[in-house]
């Protein structure tokens, strides 16, 4: 177990889709890294709960709940500050295990993914349930985290199976048992049915998937609207896409930092932005991409937001060129920042294209390209803080927050699953 193997794919009509979902991910990482937190109610966050351990969930604490409300429900709740670098690193380790099992991996979020083991043959043939069991064992032994896996014929059913199996479980839904598994479940369990849709269905006396399955599609379309009605009809009858989608092109690369309530000096904000630009440029170059448009995102003390953008004549991967554009946008917004008080700064690079097809400006290999490559190499080897701008060494970027998820846009191909499961 754990060695990389050759993968060969053939067609199959069995339950071959795995939905792997890390349990209470942020909180589980904290409990893994601090033995004092194990078995105790833990919330990650502060003013708002970002994640709750299962011990806290059993006391009524939920994601996105206010901190005061959470402590009212659970007076002995332990609240820890988020450590996003630790979560990103744990996610990378888990996804490496996924890709060691199969190259057909579709990431849904930082803590969940679909794996397609359709027709996957090893030297010793392994059924999907055994693949799922091995994924769970490896994630527990190598990363130290609990993970739930649902196995079914389609991504939708696999997602529902993992919901039912939580926490730290494994559930296989055989094709012949799909209706028997799905129809008794509450409508809230169905992927894509949110609170408002569930309330509407309850109002019509529809409380289980079986209740919904008994209706004609035209009736559902009339109750929920054409798109939602047809979608739900397909879900309860197992008529959803059977494949995961791994061929997705990035539409943007971004990062942001929450600065907290100030005041913040212009130098502090500028330093934070410089660090963000360096980070997203490294990620973009790692994907062999260039960007033509820089987008600056600002959030203010009154929770209002502002967005500014600037497009370049040509796509580029140069940190210097993209930095200059971002700083120009920030300078243009300085009066707005001074008046409202900034609490968050973010940057996104859009208009992405492959660096093999973009038209470069002259000279073809400017000196800063060599510098970028050298800095990227050092960062890959020694960490992102091994080489920093002198301005950051003096001021420091001073803030910790997660990078934005890369926005993806599907390439032409099979139908795909794009919805995200509710925590």
Is 195 catalytic? The answer is: no
| C-alpha span between 318 and 290 (Å, rounded) | 8
Cα 337 from Cα 402, distance rounded (Å): 22
CA distances from 260 to 139, 162, 257, 269, 341 (A): 35, 36, 9, 11, 10
- Inter-residue contact 283 to 298 (CB < 8 Å): no
Helix, strand, or coil (residue 213): helix
- Whose CA is closest to 220, among 211, 229, 212? 229
In contact, 156 and 240? CB cutoff 8 Å: yes
The catalytic position among 112, 178, 242, 321 is 112
Which two structure tokens, joined as six digits, stand for 300?
């203010």
What DSSP string runs through 110-178?
Answer: TTEEEEE-TT---SS---HHHHHHHHHHHIIIII---EEEEEESSHHHHHHHHHHH-SS-EEE--GGGH
C-alpha 336/C-alpha 340 separation (Å) is 6
Distance in angstroms (rounded) separating the CA atoms of residues 212 and 231: 12
Which residue is listed with tokens 């839904």?
A: 173
Helix (H, G, I), strand (E, B) or coil at 64: coil
> Quick one: which of 73, 397, 388 has its CA closest to 256?
397
First to last CA, the chain: 31
User: Are residues 253 and 352 in contact, defined by beta-carbon separation less than 8 angstroms?
Assistant: yes
Nearest 5°: the CA angle 99, 101, 104 is 55
Residue 66's CB is within 10 A of a number of other CB atoms, namely 12
The catalytic residue positions are: 112
């Amino acid at each position: 177990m754990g060695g990389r193997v050759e993968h060969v794919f053939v067609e199959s009509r069995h339950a071959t889709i795995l939905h792997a979902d890390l349990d209470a991910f942020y909180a589980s990482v904290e409990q893994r890294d601090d033995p004092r937190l194990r078995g105790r109610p833990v919330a990650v966050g502060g003013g708002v709960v970002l994640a709750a351990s299962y011990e806290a969930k059993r006391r009524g604490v939920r994601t996105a709940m206010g901190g005061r409300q959470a402590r009212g429900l659970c007076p002995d709740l332990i609240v820890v500050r988020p450590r996003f670098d630790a979560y990103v690193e744990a996610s990378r380790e888990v996804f490496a295990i996924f890709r060691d099992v199969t190259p057909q991996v579709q990431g849904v979020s930082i803590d969940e993914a679909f794996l397609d083991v359709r027709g996957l043959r090893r030297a010793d043939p392994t059924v999907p349930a055994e693949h799922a069991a091995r994924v769970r064992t490896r994630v527990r032994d190598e990363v130290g985290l609990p993970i739930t896996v649902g196995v079914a014929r389609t991504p939708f059913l696999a997602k529902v199976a993992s919901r039912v199996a939580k926490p730290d479980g494994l559930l296989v839904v055989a094709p012949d048992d799909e209706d028997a598994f799905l129809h008794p479940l509450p409508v809230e369990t169905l992927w894509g049915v949110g609170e408002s849709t569930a309330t509407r269905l309850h109002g019509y006396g529809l409380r289980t998937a079986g209740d919904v399955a008994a209706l004609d599609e035209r009736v559902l379309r009339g109750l929920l609207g054409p798109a939602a009605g047809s979608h739900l009809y397909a879900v309860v009858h197992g008529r959803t896409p059977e494949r995961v989608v791994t061929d997705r092109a990035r539409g943007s690369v971004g990062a942001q930092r929450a600065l907290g309530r100030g005041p913040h000096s212009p130098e502090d904000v500028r330093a934070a932005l410089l660090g963000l630009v360096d980070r997203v440029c490294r990620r973009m170059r790692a994907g062999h991409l260039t960007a033509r448009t820089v987008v600056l995102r600002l959030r203010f003390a009154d929770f209002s937001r502002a967005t500014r953008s600037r497009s370049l004549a040509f796509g580029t991967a140069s940190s210097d060129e993209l930095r200059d554009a971002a700083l120009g946008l920030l300078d243009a917004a300085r009066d707005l920042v001074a008046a409202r008080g900034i609490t968050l700064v973010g940057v996104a690079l859009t208009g992405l294209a492959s660096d093999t097809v973009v038209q470069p400006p002259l000279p073809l290999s400017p000196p800063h390209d060599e510098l970028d490559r050298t800095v990227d190499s050092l960062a890959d080897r020694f960490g992102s803080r091994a080489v920093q701008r002198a301005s950051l060494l003096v001021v420091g970027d001073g803030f910790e927050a997660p990078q934005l998820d890369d926005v993806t846009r599907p390439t032409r191909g099979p139908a795909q699953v794009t919805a995200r499961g509710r925590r």
